[in-house]
Structure 1
Amino acid sequence: MKNNKIKGNLGEDLACLYLTKNGYNILERNLTFKFGEVDVVAIKDNILTFIEVKSRSSLNFGLPSEAVDFKKVTKITKVAKAYISNTSLYYNEVSFDVIEVYLNENKINHIERAF
């Protein structure tokens, strides 16, 4: 379990570096409410983006994005609604993205508007 936490943190760090290099402003990391958590909240071009980061060192358990199931999507959307209702940010639209981090390949796949 500890190893997975380390991989997850590394993946989130790499995802945030990628996002920053691509013009996103990171607003929150590990945004948590009692009913769920979102890895990253960022904004770019007036699009408020909630991002789930999934990291893998192998594909033994499938593609990283396949781990974002209906239950996870439901939790992320609840967190997003709570965040939006508690902020006065200006934005034009909301996006839900998934970032796949392939640790052994040093590769990132950003799936915009994943759900």
Structure 2
Amino acid sequence: MNNKEKGSLGEKIACNYLIKNNFHILEKNYRTKIGEIDLIAFKDNKLSFIEVKSRNTMNYGYPREAVNYKKQKKIIYTAKQYIMYKNIKNIDIAFDVIEVYLRDNNINHIENAFCVN
């Protein structure tokens, strides 16, 4: 399985996990010229922008470690564009990371993994 296929599988697993946990999926792979957000979901009056990272092994560290400062800035900028485009107001915002461990089917949902500075 190549990296694109692993990523797609991880996003599908994460999406199913969110639905089972009462999130409403608003967008999948939301793209702008600047960046992409894997999943945008809504639950309990909170809009979550979610980056999904999948791994077969720990050879390259924890999946969350791939969401570095540069990646966070792209996600934040893309989220701001989404909020403006959809004219969203008066709602809590969160930036989450979901780690998907493909080998053992484990999921780690890190809520509020980073914030807007």
Runs of 5+ consecutive residues of structure 1 not aligned to the other structure:
none
TM-score by length of 2: 0.94
Q: Deviations over 1:10-45 (max 9, x none)?
A: 000000000000010000011000000000000001
1:91 & 1:23 partners in 2: Cα distance? 21
Q: In the TM superposition, what is the alpha-carbon distance from 1:92 to its structure 2 partner? A: 2.2
Q: Deviations over 1:32-61 (max 9, x none)?
A: 000000000000011000000000000000
Match of 1:46 in 2: 45
Percent of matched pairs sharing the same residue: 56
Tell whether 2:59 aligns with 1:66: no
1:57 & 1:16 partners in 2: Cα distance? 18
Q: In the TM superposition, what is the alpha-carbon distance from 1:85 to its structure 2 partner? A: 0.1
Q: In the TM superposition, what is the alpha-carbon distance from 1:64 to its structure 2 partner? A: 0.2
Tell whether 2:37 aligns with 1:4: no
CA RMSD in angstroms comes to 1.2
Aligned structure 1 segments of 4 or more residues deviating by more than 2 angstroms: 88-92
- Matched positions, count: 114
Letter in 2 for 1:62: G
Q: In the TM superposition, what is the alpha-carbon distance from 1:88 to its structure 2 partner? A: 3.6
SS in structure 2 opposite 1:60?
coil
Q: In the TM superposition, what is the alpha-carbon distance from 1:100 to its structure 2 partner? A: 0.1
Letter in 2 for 1:47: K
Q: In the TM superposition, what is the alpha-carbon distance from 1:89 to its structure 2 partner? A: 4.4
Q: Deviations over 1:69-99 (max 9, x none)?
A: 0000000000000000011446520000000
Runs of 5+ consecutive residues of structure 2 not aligned to the other structure:
none
1:7 & 1:89 partners in 2: Cα distance? 32
Match of 1:101 in 2: 100
SS in structure 1 opposite 2:38?
strand
Q: In the TM superposition, what is the alpha-carbon distance from 1:5 to its structure 2 partner? A: 0.2
TM-score by length of 1: 0.96
Letter in 2 for 1:54: K
